[in-house]
Structure formats: C-alpha cells, structure tokens
A and B are shown apart, each in its own frame.
Chain A
Amino acid sequence: MSETVTLTIDGKKYTAERGRTVLQVATDNGIRIPTLCHNEAIEPYGACRLCVVEVTRGSRTRIVTSCLYPVEEGLIVQTASDRVIRNRKMLLDLLLARCSENEVIKNLAAEYGVTQPSFRQEYWEKNDCIVCGLCVRACEQVVGVSAISLVNRGISKEPAPPFLEKATDCIGCGSCYYVCPTHAIKMEDKNGVRRIHNWKVEFKLKKCSKCGIYWAPEAQLEYIRRKADLPVGFFDICPNCR
C-alpha cells in the first residue's frame, strides 16, 4: 500500500499522506473549511458538523465531516457545493437559535447569510456554549486531569464539574478557556487569584519571587512539578526571570 494518495478537492488534484483527514489536507493546501469543535492538539470529535464536505467515491456521493474522514485514493471532495452550503447554513441557523447573542456564532452565521434563526423568536436561547466538548477533551487529553465531563444527554447535555459543584480535580490551568471556540468559559485573573466561574473554582496564583508578577496557578505548577518530578521550589521564579 502506498504511503500517499491522490485526491481531488474542489476540482484540483492534491497528493496527501495516507492517514491524514480531508480537513488536514485541505487546510495544508490553503482551502478554508469552517470548524468549531476542532483543535489540532485534540482528537477530532465530529460534533459541530460545520466542517461537512461532499465526498464522491465510485458512484456514491455523500456528506461527511472532513475532520474525521480519512483521505483515500481517487476521492473527490467538494468543500462548498450547494448541498454543503445548504447543510452548513442550517447548522448555523440551529446554532444561532441556541446562541442568539453570541458574537462568534452571530459572525459566522452572517458569513453564510444567516442573520436570524428560522424558528419562532419565543424559542431563541441565549447560550454561549455549543457543547462541542473541546473543554472536556482538552482537560482529559492535553492536561490529563478530567476535572470536568459532559453530563446528561440530549438537549440537557453540557460540560460541567462532577455533581455540578466545585470541580475538585481542577488545577486551574485554563486550557478549557483557551480552547473554547465561543468564549463560553468565563475566566479571570485578579488580585493574585484565578477564577473559572463555569467550574466554580478559584486558585491562588504564584508570585514570581524575582519580578513579583502573578504568573500561574499554584495548583497547576504543583501538578506539573510532581508529574515531571521537579525539585520543590522549581517554579518560584517565572519563565521570564529564569
């Protein structure tokens, strides 16, 4: 089996490494496919469906999520066919009805000409979270802590700490905050304290013994120190002063 395949994306031929996804290959070649639940550092999940493309293999054409679909020899991909656009528009319509006041969603929807949800106004909601699970996956796969998880199912599904109370395992690293595509996670560093409101946690920040700035949560530094087996006091000085 050869290590590379040739596929067609939007009429142009590309060579790609076997095992890569359609989204990766498209992105590598400067073709923009919109995504929300995707992050290169985290396993693809396929929840937001925004990256849908139309693929043809033999006589069969269908809609697939490009973040998960592996490239294949002879595959024909259309990233912006009528059918793709129609589906993407409906997705944004649905997301806008859920997050009717969220700027990220509003802007993305507007890009596709969706300026207001197709559903009756009394049903519009004002969420910021689209339940893409990036925060949960980052906490599990990148940080290795799993302080939060997706709880409940269906329309009640949401990322949350266990028992909907303070996330006792959280180390305050803020990875969830950085990966969230819709700024649904509210985090603030103030007066030497970091608060992540969504998980009901607060952390004392470590003050650099040299320059005096607060540079990271103590709990996070302690977690890293133990994991990497570093000496006590290793993080007394911030990276800038080291």
Chain B
Amino acid sequence: MPSKLKSPKALEALQKKLGKVADAGKVSISVCNGTACRPYGSNPVVEAFKTEIEKRGVADKIDFRITGCHGFCERGPVALIQPGNIFYQKIQVDDIPEIVEKTLLNRIVIERLLFKNDSVGNIQAQVDIPFYKKQQRIILGNNVKIDPTSIEDYIAIGGYSALSKSLFELKPEQIIDMVKASGLRGRGGGGFPTGAKWESCRNAHGDIKYVIVNADEGDPGAYANEGLLSGNPHSVLEGLIIGAYAIGAHQGYIYVRNEYPLALKNITIAMQQAEKLGLLGKDILGSGFDFNVRINRGGGAFVCGESTALMASLEGKPGEPRAKYIHTVEKGLWERPSDLNNVETWANIPLIINNGPEWFSAIGSSGNTGTKIFSLTGKVNNTGLVEVPLGIKLRDIIFDIGGGIRDGKKFKAVQTGGPSGGCLPESMLDLPVNFDELTKAGSMMGSGGMIVMDEDNCMVDVARYFLTFLEEESCGKCVPCREGIKRMRQILNDICDGKGQESDIDLLKELGAHLQDSALCALGSSAPNPVLTTINYFHDEYMAHIRDKKCPAGVCKALIHFYIKDNCPGCGLCVKACPTNAITFVEKRKPVILDQSKCIKCRTCYDICKMGAVGIE
C-alpha cells in the first residue's frame, strides 16, 4: 500500500507509476466474480485460475484480475482478455488450464468459449457482441478494468483525479454549476435534478450538513446498484467526497442494503483504503477539507429506500417515513440539511468533473442526459446489467441488447420501476426510455429494474405479486398504505381465485386513486401503479379471469388444471417426481394417468417432462 498522499502532485505521481505498470504490455485477464456470476460457480473458477497460474509459475507474465460485474450475467462466468478484447463466456473449472496455456501464454483463441450467434457465428471481441453493441458503458465499463478491492487499480485508471481537481481547482459553487449544467437527474427513481438539490442543501441554514449514499436498492428484480457498488466502490466514494465538498458537509453515510454482502464488503474496504491514502478523513490531499464516512447496513426493509425512512433508520429508529412538506435538504438527518443521492447518481459525478458537463449532456437526450444502468431480467435471452443512453427505445434494449424473448415465446410486457412502476405492453415498445416518458405511461424509471414477461406470465398474477410484496413491506404507519394495499391485494387474490366480480375493477381504480392522493410516502402513493397499468393495458386478461374464470397464461392455480397429452411415452419420470403421488404409471408406451383430486399444481411434472406431454389448460 502506498503511503498517505498529501498533495495533488503526490496523487499524480502515484497515478503515473501505477499507469506504467498497467501499460507494461502484459497479457491481462479479468474474471468476473460479481454476485450474479456466483450462482454459476465463479468462485471455483477464480480459485482454479489462481492455482493454475501459480502451478505454472507464470504470475509475472499474466496480469490476473478478479473483478466485479461485467454485465453479461446470462453467460456467466465470464472473462475478458487483453489484448484482443477477447470475451469468454460460460467458463468452467475444466477450461482453465487450456485458457492459461493457449490464450494467455500463446495468444490462441479458444473458439468454444466465444459467444455464438446463429446469424454471425462466433464473435471474439466483446464490443462486437450484440449485447454490448448498443450500450454506452461510461460507468459500468470500468468494472472490467479494476479489482474492486484495490484502490491502486482505481487510481491507475485515473481515479480520484476528479476529487483532486474539485478540491484544488474548483469552488464549491462551480462544482454545483457543473452538475446543474450536466443535466444529471437522480438515478434513484424520481429523477429530481441533482445540481438543484445540492444547491438547496448548500444554501440551507445550518453549519452541520450531511451527504448520504442510498444503496438500499430494494426493488425486487433490480441489481444495478449492487453491480456498481460491488464492482466499482471507489467511483461512488469519490463522487460522494466531491459532493460533500460542494455542499459543505463533513460527515457522510452510505446505507447499504442488508441482502448485498459483497457490496457491503467492497465499499468497506474501499473506505478503509481511501482513509489510509489520505483521500478521506482529515485534510484530504492536503486541501484542508475534512470528511468522514460511516457505512450502515440496512435491516431488510424495502421502505428504507425512501429518503426519510432511511434517515430514521440512520438515527437508530424503525424505518418509518415522515411527511416531506419541509424538504430533507433543509431538515433531514437529525433535523439537519441532508443531501441524499442514489449510488448511480454519485458515480456519475467524477465523470462530469473530469469530462465536463457538455460532454455529459451530449449523451442521452435533452432533459434526460447521460446514461442509465438497467438490470435486464426475466424472459429475455440476454439477461444482465446494461447501460444505455437515456432516450433509447424499450425495443432496442429488449430485442437488440436483450436478444428478444427466450424459447421463441411472444413478448407480453416489460415491467420497469419495481413495485412503484408499471407493466408496459407491446404497443409501447417504441417508447423512449427516460424519466418523463415512463412516468407518463404510468410506470417509472425506479432504480433501473427492467423485467421482461412473455405469454406465460399472467398480468393479474404479476399485479398481485407486487401488492403482496408491498403489503409485507409497508411500514404500516398510514391508513391508506396499510389498509388500502391489503384490500387491493385481497381483491386481486379473489380475481386470481376465480371469485372476482366486474365491479372489482372500479373498486381497484378507486383505491388506486386514493392511495396516489393520500398515502404518506412514495411507497404508498406509487403502490397502485402495477395494478393500474395492468388494468389499463391488459384489461382483457382481467376480464378473462373475472367473466370466463380463465387464466389465459396458465398461471393462476385455481383457474387451471394439468393434463397428460396422448403423446406421453409413459417413461415414468413425472411419476417419480410428483410430490403428492398424483400420477400413476400404466405401462411402457402408454400415457400415465393424472389424478386431478391429488394434483397440487406444483408444475413439477410440467418442468420435468422432456416430451412436452404435460399440458396446462
């Protein structure tokens, strides 16, 4: 570890030194060990690389790096090799000796590990893969270049130079002007202009002010913040320190979601390293500016993503929101002016300082500048973290980057904005993805969840899913949220159970309007969105449940039954798998018999049958 940096010159010198090492022309390999690669077994892959490199004694010839998320989670575990920009996917432990021998030591590409595309064939370079082609990875792109637990790696690619520039060349007001000019809007969902928020906080009355990183990304199905915080924690920290200087805060907080152990670990390491190097703490880089950070773990409560609830939790109280008639930039944490921004918002700051606001505002579209990270999941072929310029069409993300729908199924809806967002149908696919258009369509940007659904997903069930989630996650303080969500969920349950009435639709709409008007915080006021958008865009599906007592997607258990088709070869696989012994074997080459009275509709037989001989109707 280098010693404490006491001036901008010292940082520059270190940067040069580390940069030279990085440019030494060695072959390098970055292996993803982000959270999403772990279920694929990236841990053993990483270990195998270490062992292999050591065994061969080639550590000095290969620049081996364990990194955070590369984005293309669908194909994990993945790795990127330089020179050549070679992208390997679905790497298994057995592949490692060959990768080291052939590619790393002898620069021979292993065709088998490349991304394959039916129309083009094997693609070697990461940039040429359709998943990456339409992306603009100004934030996430650095993930492959750095080991998130190494501050040297971050400094080598120019890290903390924006901080140095801010402290020594810019006045706080100038920084705020730059952020304002960039057009950056809050990436946590609401899209409030960041510069204006900073300015209000700077101008707010009071000597003690706080800056806060909201890393309590609670939207189920969104992990964009996780990928960023665990993959490049220093970029967030650097943005935070710059913000603190601009606003005039000397204490910051990073509130990390409880379910993100890797992000928590990496940001903690980052903080300790920055302190050791004099980039955090007293007299940062010899500038005279003091700033300390405390990391807080969440306790598993979605509502704590709401700023006032998060602040309550930081004060050691239950995460109950309070009315924001007096803004948190004036009276926030401990009733003092507090600026809270999302992880991704903070990570944009060093880029704006380094490259200038004009560079930033040239990306995206007017009023919606810059890029946004989405976690593209659900029924698309290419799931993963994608970063795109704002204003790109939904269709481009889902079909070009996402590669369309899995298994040749038909697109039905895309859900954005998590439980506060909505489900948009096929007719909206040409919608430009930005804060305003999504809101107009009844959905939201949220923290960047984008969940694609196909014909096998029931939209009434999806609405019920979100309400069940919100019912569990509501803090329970205000009546509209606590009681209203419960009633809406009961009605949706009834509809899914075939007990719905046509008047239920109107009651849901009335309740929805009431929550939007009267709930205390954004969790409650946006809670009806998944219901209202599905009623709006998928009205027929509701009516099928209510009038015909049918679930067209074959999801709602009370409205479907399983049956054995004539092509059943009687292999008996399902007989063994059935948890309730509802299926009886007759004889080989004769269809098995399913006893409806014993069937619990668990779908095991449907999933296990290789012949497609189990039907749902």
Contacts and interface: CB of A to CB of B under 8 A. Distances in A.
Interface stretch (A83-91, A165-173, A180-188, A212-220): A83-91
A49 B476 contact: no
Contact of A69 (B303, B322, B325, B490): B325
B476 A152 contact: yes
A110 interface: no
Contacts of B475: 153-154, 157
Q: Range of interface residues on chain B?
A: 20 to 34
Contacts of B490: 119-120, 123
Contact of B483 (A70, A94, A133, A150): A94
A49 B474 contact: no
A143 interface: no
Interface in A183-197: none
A24 B487 CA distance: 32
Interface stretch (B183-191, B265-273, B510-518, B566-574): B510-518
Interface in B466-525: 471-480, 482-484, 486-487, 490-491, 494, 507, 510-511, 514, 517-520
Interface size class of A (residues with CB under 8 A): 35 or more
A133 B322 CA distance: 14
Interface stretch (A60-68, A221-229, A234-242): A60-68
Nearest to B516: A63
Contacts, number: 99
A142 B292 CA distance: 36
A221 B474 CA distance: 39
Contact of A47 (B301, B471, B473, B479): B479
Contacts of A48: 478-479
B325 A95 contact: no
B483 A98 contact: yes
B474 A155 contact: yes
A154 B482 contact: yes
Contact of B325 (A64, A98, A118, A154): A64
Nearest to B477: A47
Given A68-B325, A123-B490, A155-B471, A95 B476 contact: no
Interface string A44-84: 01111110100000000011110011100000000000010
Contacts of A50: 479
A20 to B, nearest CB: 13
Chain B: interface secondary structure?
helix
A119 B479 contact: no
A153 B304 CA distance: 12
Given A68-B323, A123-B487, A87 B518 contact: yes
B554 interface: no
Contacts of B301: 153
A188 B490 CA distance: 37
A150 B320 CA distance: 11
A68 B521 CA distance: 13
A153 B318 contact: yes
Contact of A95 (B323, B483, B519): B483
B24 interface: no
A94 B517 contact: no
Main SS at interface, chain A: mixed
Given A49-B478, A156-B476, A94 B487 contact: yes
Nearest to A132: B479
A104 interface: no
A94 B318 contact: no
B514 A157 contact: no
Given A70-B326, A87-B518, A123-B487, A94 B476 contact: no
A57 to B, nearest CB: 11
A87 B303 CA distance: 23
Contacts of A131: 476-477, 482
Given A68-B323, A83-B517, A131-B482, A154 B472 contact: yes
Nearest to B520: A46
B517 A118 contact: no
A130 interface: yes
Contacts of A119: 487, 490-491, 507
A199 to B, nearest CB: 19
Interface string A134-166: 000000000000000010111111000000000
15 contacts: A46-B322, A46-B478, A47-B520, A63-B518, A65-B520, A69-B323, A70-B326, A90-B484, A90-B510, A90-B518, A119-B490, A153-B301, A155-B471, A155-B482, A157-B476
For the complex of A and B, the 5 pairs showing the least CB-CB separation, nearest first, are A157-B476, A94-B483, A90-B514, A154-B474, A63-B517
Given A69-B323, A94-B483, 19 more contacts: A46-B323, A47-B477, A47-B478, A48-B478, A62-B517, A64-B325, A86-B514, A87-B514, A87-B518, A90-B511, A91-B479, A120-B494, A123-B487, A131-B476, A153-B474, A154-B472, A154-B476, A154-B482, A155-B474
